[in-house]
Chains A and B, each alone.
Chain A
Amino acid sequence: MLKTFRIGGIHPKEYKISAGKAIQPIAIPDQVIVPLSQHIGAPCQPIVKKGDVVKTGTLIGKTVGFVSANIHSPVSGTVLKIDKALDASGYRRDAVYIKVEGDEWEESIDRSKTLVKECILSPKEILEKIAAAGIVGMGGATFPTHVKLTPPPGTKAEVLIVNAVECEPYLTSDHQLMMEKTEEILVSIAIVMKAINTRKAIIGIENNKRDAIEKFTQAAKAYSNIEVVALKVQYPQGGEKQLIDALLKRQVPSGALPVSVGAIVQNVGTMFAIYEAVQKNKPLIERVVTVTGKNMKNPCNVLSRLGIPVSVLIDAAGGLPESTGKVVSGGPMMGKALASTDIPVTKGTSGILIIPTLEAKRKSMKDCIRCAKCVNVCPMGLNPSLLMNLTEYEIWDRAEKNSITDCIECGSCSYTCPADRPLLDYIRLGKGKVNGIIRARKK
């Protein structure tokens, strides 16, 4: 029996139609827009101004505080302006507009393809390099990686978990990256194990990626203490807490960090970025993006510089079909619907999903029939139907008591509801409200 997490879960149709498509680089357009907030935490402070000439890899945004991540220019050219730009959050936020001129890289970056296995840096130096390169969780959460790799004093990770689950339907960017950059990822795992001083690493891969499981199982033999585990296909297994439960049979308590059960989880795309940062001095300026959708002519995996408008990527996949109803950044379960195709690719853009008109609109909601299917699928063991009602009637104390803040917003409840009730919409709202109340109480 394949391992999986123990509470709830769903299995949506996979639609991994871009699987096996080799990663193609995207040609750089004339202008890029680089948002200064591409991560969870404080937005960066811009350190360039209008007219400044930048190279590919030049630092353009510096961190403010510990929970933040540097931003580098993904292209070479001239800074046009620093202005508001619409991003995937739906807000207009500060971004650096750069006019592209050629593609000249910072000299410190090693652009060769040769695999660099040796790493003589100390753990501290490794972490500093990761922080300097502006690496964040690339599975979509975009939490600064150096923060995650620095557990609070008194805690220690016994095991590094590499999240190669890619449980979202449609997305294949991690899968393809694993097929093409197997060795680099394994080197990176060894580096991170050294940085956080752990003896053991586990790579969790869902069983719908048999080729990747085989490739990694073979390649990992050359490394010590790296184990590859095939997992049953089950959403949301890529959720940090779910993955730890699936692999270690340990459940992170409510409100605690994964390191409290001895684990640190990193996405496989993040691992590759760490390899490039530590071994090649390359900051995070590009990423693999799956561009896909049922009606797309050429669903594919592309390597895109950050800051390129998603419309350029969509064109590479055959252009926007007439039947387009919705453009989503990320997967269909947790991705964000974009208000415009001018929005740029950022560090967290794992995929661009084009949803046809027919599927884009929700059905009207019916009265709850209390079938409890939402309760059965909730991976956190919550009662979504109750939480929705409590939010609707603004009964915050009971919402808090019923652990609304534990919700990981995976959307399994809304996905499942036979009465088409927007459970997660309400719960998200209630969660924000209750979190606010808790913060106010602590002050």
Chain B
Amino acid sequence: MPEETIIPAQPRHRLTTRIWHWINALCLITLLMSGLTIFNAHPRLYWGEYGANGDYAWMAVGSSDTMGYLRFGDLRIETTGVLGNWQDDQGRTQKWAFPGWATIPSSYSLADGRRWHFFFAWIFSVGLGLFILRSLWNRHVQQDLRIGLQEWRPSAIWNSIKSHLKLSNIRQTGEQGYNIIQKLSYVGVIFVLLPSMIFSGLAMSPAMDANWPLLTDIFGGRQSARSLHFIAAFLLVLFFFVHIAMVLVSGPVRQMTAMIFGGKRKEPPA
């Protein structure tokens, strides 16, 4: 069996990928937490152009004196202690939707939450744009994320799923090229979810509505854009947890070292 060849000139993660990865991680955490502060100002989501307290919300966080709840359509789930009715670090009961440990700042301030959100939104947007351009230019996307025709075969995808169910298989990965599930996740996050956060965010802006009316229409109205912004944010949270779990399973020290210092790139056996 031929030996794997290490290409010393190219690290596993390029410098631009590593810089962007960590800046982006900081941005996503601050954007999520300041975004939850903004959500707390009106913890109700609607479809269409308009939506306010008198209108039907498909999702809402609410509270009574004794309990908090999360409502999806007609389904009401009690969330006392976490959403809608929780104790702050002084032991006082608070009725904001998301608790202080999940928001920036930790006490409710819509104005401050917006400041954090828009500042980091700029770094996030410019960073994502530069990373995508650079990764097309240096062929990171074409070399590492391009999905070959044979990878699209249902049997190939099924094999990859089965392979993920065995932890020992996940442990072995991390030095070869990405598998189909990794590629789909990364492509989906970089080219779909992250850009949709920027555009659904802009679609909520009254000035952008005048500048680019089509943008709000694409999302089905301002309140739909707000709902999709929220849903996409939580898909990113889901990605974050799976991503962290995979790093922990596959060798956290090696993976973290590689994402900080570059790591080694191995060519699969010829």
The finding on whether chains A and B are genuine partners in a shared complex, rather than unrelated, reads no
